[in-house]
Amino acid sequence: MSLMKIFDTAGSGMAAESLRLNTVASNLANADSLSSSADSAYKAKELLFAPTQESDGLSDSQDGEVNNGVRMVGVSESQQPVETHYEPGNPMADENGYVYGSNVNPIDELVNMISASRSYQNNVEVMNTTKQLMIKTIDLGS
Amino acid sequence: MSFNLLDNVFGLSSKALELWQNRSEVLASNIANADTPNYQARDIDFRQALQQASGDSSDLQLSTPTEGQISPSTQSADQLKYRVPLQPSMDGNTVDTQVEQASFASNMVHYQSSLSFINSTIQTLRLAINGGGQS
């Protein structure tokens, strides 16, 4: 029964979106973290997604070569400049009196969060519909 | 009872059911990849696929008389087409979630209707076997 493959596909989508949500949570939690050098300051993490299988153009669509889900290929760090404040009284300040914040943009993160949760819901709906139809297929003839 | 006979009984419905199933896989993949950069949304040309599955395609098939020649049917069996995006996005992704969701919903209704055609055939057969008595 090849409807089973949809569970894998939608499941990989759900896993990817929850990873995204997890990353957003980590970024938002560290939005106000301080550091004493620009290198060790918290940089916003971004996930890289890719389809699990590429079509080779010759394969038969029947054997499932083309069908695929999504997977995470890596994490990249935002290249935006980190925030720098002049706070000589701060115990974290370097010898020039500067502290370094993170480069997390809370607006970006919130937009990401909404997008991820919507996509997650879409995948859940796909799974639900498929499940109901599978049950109907099993009940065939009764 | 051979499967060939069953195919004759259910007619095109069983083939259509299989095609709807394949299409739902493709659409589920599109929805799962809604946020993947450079992902190209795909879909099945259902009319063409069903015509081919039922064997009364109007296209003339090329013959492959020589051993090792690539059969044209293996290439034309790949019914997957690329969707043309309504609005190009910055990351090269051509999935339009609304379009995919609508296609998925209608695809599943079609699947269900093929299913109920098969179901009613089974019930008719059962009625014939029991001679209209208690089923």
What pLDDT digit, counting tens, does each position of B67-113 carry? 777 665 555 445 688 888 888 888 889 999 999 999 999 999 999 99
Region of residue B92 (phi > 0: left; psi between -120 and 50: alpha; otherwise: beta): left
Q: What is the Cα–Cα distance from A21 to A109, expressed in whole angstroms?
A: 9
Tell me if B134 is assigned to some domain. Answer: no
Tell me if B69 is assigned to some domain. Answer: yes
pLDDT digits (tens, 9 = 90+) for A119-134: 999 999 999 999 999 9
Quick check: B1 pLDDT over 80?
no
Give the Cα-Cα-Cα angle B109, B8, B62 (nearest 5 degrees).
Answer: 90
Q: What is the Cα–Cα distance from A16 to A72, expressed in whole angstroms?
A: 7
Tell me if B44 is assigned to some domain. Answer: yes
Distance from the Cα of B4 to chain A's closest Cα (Å) equals 19
Q: Work out whether the CA dihedral A88, A93, A98, A104 comes out positive or negative.
A: negative
Q: What is the Cα–Cα distance from A31 to A72, expressed in whole angstroms?
A: 24
Quick check: B9 pLDDT over 70?
yes
The predicted model gives A82-111 an average pLDDT of 91
Q: Which residue has the higher pLDDT, A62 or B10?
A: B10
**Is the CB of B26 less than 8 angstroms away from the CB of A125?**
no
Q: What is the Cα–Cα distance from B18 to B20, expressed in whole angstroms?
A: 6
Q: What is the Cα–Cα distance from A106 to A85, expressed in whole angstroms?
A: 18
The token pair that represents A30 in the structure block: 């560290």
Tell me if B135 is assigned to some domain. Answer: no
Facing B31 at nearest CB: one of A50, A59, A123: A123
Tell me if B12 is assigned to some domain. Answer: yes
For residue B59, the model assigns a pLDDT of: 62
Distance from the Cα of B84 to chain A's closest Cα (Å) equals 18
Facing A9 at nearest CB: one of B32, B97, B108: B32
Give the Cα-Cα-Cα angle B126, A139, A133 (nearest 5 degrees).
Answer: 135
What is the rounded average pLDDT for all residues in chain A?
87
**Is the CB of B35 less than 8 angstroms away from the CB of A17?**
yes
Give A-chain residues touching B33 at CB under 8 angstroms.
13, 49, 51, 68-70
The predicted model gives B42-70 an average pLDDT of 74
For residue A117, the model assigns a pLDDT of: 95
Instruction: Kindly identify which residue of chain A lies nearest to residue B74, measuring between CA atoms.
Output: A60
Facing A67 at nearest CB: one of B29, B97, B118: B29
Tell me if B35 is assigned to some domain. Answer: yes
Whether the Cβ atoms of residue B17 and residue B107 lie closer than 8 Å to each other: no
Q: B30 pLDDT band (50/70/90 cuts)?
A: very high
Tell me if B64 is assigned to some domain. Answer: yes
| Predicted complex: ipTM over 0.85 | no
Give B-chain residues touching A47 at CB under 8 angstroms.
none
Q: What is the Cα–Cα distance from A26 to A28, expressed in whole angstroms?
A: 6
Give the residue from A23, A70, A128 with the most B CB atoms within 10 Å of its CB, the best one to mutate.
Answer: A70
For residue B4, the model assigns a pLDDT of: 66
Quick check: B133 pLDDT over 80?
no
For residue A66, the model assigns a pLDDT of: 56
Neighbours of B23 (CB within 10 A): 24
Tell me if B105 is assigned to some domain. Answer: yes
For residue A54, the model assigns a pLDDT of: 53
Residue type for position B2: S
**Is the CB of A133 less than 8 angstroms away from the CB of B111?**
yes
Residue type for position A141: G
The token pair that represents A53 in the structure block: 């299988």
Q: How many domains does chain B have?
A: 1
Range of the domain at B30: 3-129
Q: Which of B21, B91, B85 is nearest to B50 (CA)?
A: B21
For residue A127, the model assigns a pLDDT of: 94
The token pair that represents B63 in the structure block: 């013959």
The token pair that represents B87 in the structure block: 């609005």
**Is the CB of B74 less than 8 angstroms away from the CB of A61?**
no
pLDDT digits (tens, 9 = 90+) for A21-63: 999 999 999 999 999 988 899 999 999 998 887 554 444 444 4
Facing B75 at nearest CB: one of A5, A58, A70: A58
Q: What is the Cα–Cα distance from A93 to B61, expressed in whole angstroms?
A: 77
**Confidence (pTM):** 0.79
Whether the Cβ atoms of residue B95 and residue B39 lie closer than 8 Å to each other: yes
Helix A106-138 × helix B97-130 angle, to 10°: 10
Instruction: Kindly identify which residue of chain A lies nearest to residue B105, measuring between CA atoms.
Output: A129
For residue A59, the model assigns a pLDDT of: 46
Quick check: A17 pLDDT over 50?
yes
The predicted model gives B45-52 an average pLDDT of 81
**Is the CB of A69 less than 8 angstroms away from the CB of B105?**
no
